[in-house]
Structure 1
Amino acid sequence: MNTKFGVFYNKQFNCLMLAFNNKPITASEKINNVLILKNENNIVGINIFDVKKEINKNFIINEPEIYEYISYELKDVIVLKNLPQFIVGKIIKCNKIPDTHLSACEVDIKSEVLKIVCGAKNAREGIYVVVATDGSWMPNGVQIVKGKLRGFDSEGMLCSAKELGIEEGKFNSDGIIELSEKYQINLGKEFKG
């Protein structure tokens, strides 16, 4: 196989993510601390949670396709920069999309302004939020990619506490996370929960 893939480490969730290609995920299977991501019957990625624990156990799965990727393809791994996946942003514009529950938002992340479609009721101008940028991997194994919703560009996602696996009660649980004003000094920086 000549497939190259990306290796990402999410320090916040202690998760090693292997992406073999960027096909949509249609199914997943969990074996111990490993989430196998599939497109139909093809494996498109693997998320290994609690990495130190798995490495200490000499991580092995008895599934031929996974073994083949891990043992034969590692020589072709492209290690991507460990860029923060979840960053602090500020909604600077928020307009309801007619006949939907969605809003078209413009979100300042300091280095640029992203267009993001959001379905949360609490999305509004002036609040600080947590942004999953294009290419980010959510804890459940879904990769965030640019696209269109209802004809509007969406270049990321505004995150709720539940989507980020943050303990209940730490942030509001109804809709996207609303960060306090103290986060304005962290605009464009990694969100550390």
Structure 2
Amino acid sequence: QQSTSVLQHQPFSSTIDIGFWSELSTLKLDTLRLDDSARSIWGSYECGSRSSATGAKFLVGSESLDPNAQTSARFVRAPGTITVVNTVEAFKELDKKKIIEELGAEILDAIDNGAAIEDPSLMARWAMITFSNLKTYCHYYWLAFPAVSLPIPAVVSPPVPLSARLSPDQQAQLHAAYKAVCGSRPPGAGALGHFLLTLR
């Protein structure tokens, strides 16, 4: 009998590129001003064997505020929201627990209505709260990465070769489908992070 273990989510180890703060300062001065409503942002993460015990690397880059910017082929793009508050007091007083709960509810809604099947990146939604003192160049930030918690913990079995689970015909179908999905992605879309597989 194969041994199983409880599925655990690998934590992200976040990195904020120094160029991001320059772009954010420009956005704050020229566009946002006192507007502290949430805006779209994107980050990217690296997964696989390169991920260390400290967690998968999550990057907020200088281009993360530009929805049309390209993503490195080594990284998976993740959609998120950023809220830029106007005072350090507002940053400290924000209800961060509520933000996590609301973000988690969005992920569950995407699962329930099928949006996460069409766009699996919605499963990796995240949020950023920040305050920047533009006079002293002192930046405060907080990142949230909600994870789905199941009523009954999911278990995983040790990895096995595809040939032990899929017939030669199924392997050929998987290869063709994966190649087609990757080929249909626009340049600069980043790596294909995760997808659903239905066996027939």
Shorter-chain TM band: under 0.3
Higher radius of gyration, 1 or 2: 2
Give the TM-score, by structure 2 length: 0.23
Question: Whose helix fraction is larger, Structure 1's or Structure 2's?
Answer: 2
